[in-house]
Chain A
């Protein structure tokens, strides 16, 4: 009997990176998605956009190349690639709102069967309009061309995060195109979420048992790694 392991955060990040198209302008959200930048290689020609107005940043800078004014959105010092540009905050979000971001990768608490998701408020005792963490997620999720979600498949106590209906305040409605969890890769089709890849050793039934949404299964279902 083998011990099954869920996908690691790095494996999830690599999978998400594999779903980026050459030349895309990509924004990486806080948390798990930030690690996708470790798997974006020069030959992919991806242009990374950071919400505070930095376009064309590259890998995290080693200490000797740190520039105290050049950070990504999570505050790490980054290098700049040829063709990088700086803009102020309103121009950065103008770029986002206008739809120049081809893909945003965000974390989430829950995703529903229609591709709506919640990722800004768990503390439901806070007043309406106030949440735990609302940064650029709504602008990005409502206006980017693609929304990918990276999240754990279940909560700490084993409940599904892929749900029929969101129990938490929504971030954006019917926008999610791809979900990468530590058990599965799911793509939104016109008939709903389709399971495309699975963590090695996990069967469709096991994954479905941890998912509230009935999943379509891709004819090309394969191990995620």
Chain B
């Protein structure tokens, strides 16, 4: 069945219901579906389960990301790699919510996450991996030896929806990704029951894309939408980081000026 091509980014996610399990592509902001996430945020679905590497990771001042859904109390569970901030002295918002019992989290080693997603797409219900043997990650999981080495049983990870960001697409849903923006998008497109794709370049008629260059064949894709002209196609990560860093520095300077102004009085 051919994918449906939507004219509006809000329409393409409008029917995502409360309680949906949603995979979100990208490795940080690279290949992240900024526009689909913003449209999902504008809609009201709640009690969502998100499956992702870590999100765009720019925080509250960045483009719409999981943090904005956490702030609105719309997330029941996060499954992915980026649960903690990496800095024990500065817990991430998700860590705080986990400690308060407000959001559930499941942290998965990155390779295991990728393979669980691919397995769901490939109808492999479970598989054995060496990753995590002997660590906390192995607890409660079946362990088995093959060729004298221990492996743990991991299960396929499914989603109702996969939000994917692609570079090129044609009307049959064939997708091409660009450089490191590929990452999770290919496997999430496989695993999602309903794969929703935002596309950078104009969606072209079938026959224009070279069959050898296609990363995701059409049958994996259910819905396509062109990223609108005022949408985000790619972010300059460095500029964003510098801007956020400068804003924080300016805020610090302003605060310390206020404090010294108060002391002078």
Interface residues of A (CB under 8 A from B): 30, 50-54, 63, 66-71, 73, 75-77, 86-90, 92-94, 96-97, 121-123, 125-139, 142-143, 169-173
Query: Can you identify 30 A-B contacts, CB atoms within 8 angstroms?
Result: A30-B86, A68-B237, A69-B31, A75-B28, A75-B237, A76-B237, A86-B180, A87-B182, A88-B177, A88-B187, A89-B110, A89-B114, A89-B187, A90-B114, A92-B114, A93-B111, A93-B115, A97-B130, A123-B91, A126-B95, A130-B107, A131-B107, A133-B85, A133-B86, A138-B109, A139-B110, A139-B131, A169-B136, A170-B134, A172-B134
Q: How far is the CB of B135 from chain A (nearest CB, A)?
A: 5
Asked if A129 and B129 sit within 8 Å, CB to CB, the answer is: no
Q: In the complex, how many angstroms separate the beta carbon of A144 from the nearest chain B beta carbon?
A: 12
Q: Is B84 an interface residue (CB 8 A)?
A: yes
Asked if B48 is an interface residue, CB under 8 A from chain A, the answer is: no
Q: Report the Cα distance A90→B117, complex, angstroms.
A: 8
| A126, B134: Cβ atoms closer than 8 Å | no
B174 at the interface (CB under 8 A from A): no
Partner of A66, one of B91, B130, B131, B236: B236
Known A132-B87, A139-B112: A70·B180 in contact at CB below 8 Å:
yes
For residue B224, CB closer than 8 A to chain A, the reply is no
Residue of A nearest to B178 (CB): A69
> Is B186's CB within 8 Å of the partner chain A?
yes
Query: Which residues on A sit within 8 Å (CB–CB) of B180?
Result: 50, 52-54, 69-71, 86
Q: Evaluate contact between B109 and A136: CB separation under 8 angstroms.
A: yes
Asked whether A143 lies within 8 Å of B130 as measured between CB atoms, the reply is yes
Smallest CB-CB A-B distances: 9 pairs: A93-B111, A139-B111, A133-B86, A132-B84, A69-B179, A88-B186, A90-B118, A52-B27, A68-B234
> At the interface with chain A, which of B9-17, B34-42, B98-106?
B98-106
Please give, as numbers and ranges, the residues of chain A lying within 8 Å of B178 by CB-CB distance: 69
Residue of A nearest to B237 (CB): A75
